[in-house]
Amino acid sequence: MARLVLLGGGHAHMTVMASLNEFLDRGHEVRVVGPEPYHYYSGMGPGMLGGHYTPEEIRFDIRRMVESKGASFVEDKAERIDAASRVVHLASGQHLEYDVLSCNTGSVVDQRLAAPDATNVYTVKPIANLLAAQKRIKDLASSKSELRIGVVGGGPAALEVAGNALSWAHRVNASSPKVTVFGGKEFLRRHPGKVRQFAIMSLEQRGIELVQGSYVDKVTGSRIVLEDGSSADVDLVFLAQGVRPSPLFRASDVAVGPNGGLAVNEYLQSTEEPSIFGGGDCIHFEPEPLDKVGVYAVRENPILKANLMAQLEGKELTPFDPGDGYLLIFNLGDGTGIFWRKKTIFHGRPAFWLKDFIDRRFMKRFQKA
pLDDT in tens, 274-306: 999 999 999 999 999 898 888 999 999 999 999
pLDDT tens sequence across 119-156: 899 999 889 999 999 999 999 998 888 999 999 999 99
Are residues 58 and 147 both part of a single domain?
Answer: no
Tell me the C-alpha distance between 123 and 130, whole Å.
Answer: 8
Domain extent, residue 229, equals 111-240
Are residues 95 and 130 both part of a single domain?
Answer: no
8 Å CB contact between 27 and 108: no
Are residues 291 and 305 both part of a single domain?
Answer: yes
Any idea what DSSP says for residue 261?
P
Tell me the C-alpha distance between 276 and 362, whole Å.
Answer: 27
Give 46: exposed, middle or buried? Use CB within 10 Å, 0-12, 13-18, 19+.
Answer: buried
pLDDT average, residue stretch 99-117 = 89
Q: What is the pLDDT of residue 115?
A: 82
- pLDDT > 70 fraction of the chain, expressed in percent and rounded: 99
Q: Is the confidence at residue 368, as pLDDT, over 80?
A: no
Are residues 248 and 294 both part of a single domain?
Answer: yes
Give the CA distances from residue 148 to residues 49, 57, 130, 362, in Å, rounded to whole numbers and listed in that order: 16, 28, 17, 35
Give the pTM: 0.93
Q: Mind giving me the DSSP string for 331-355?
A: E-SSS-EEEEETTEEEEEHHHHHHH
Are residues 201 and 288 both part of a single domain?
Answer: no
Q: What is the pLDDT of residue 170?
A: 95
Going by DSSP bridges, is the β-strand pair 148-152/121-123 parallel, antiparallel, or unpaired?
unpaired
Are residues 204 and 309 both part of a single domain?
Answer: no
The total of structural domains in the chain comes to: 2
List beta partners, residue 72.
Answer: 31
Are residues 187 and 297 both part of a single domain?
Answer: no
Q: Is residue 76 part of a domain?
A: yes
Are residues 103 and 247 both part of a single domain?
Answer: yes
Are residues 104 and 248 both part of a single domain?
Answer: yes
Beta carbons within 8 Å of 82's beta carbon, 6+ residues apart: 88, 89, 252, 253
Q: What is the pLDDT of residue 369?
A: 62
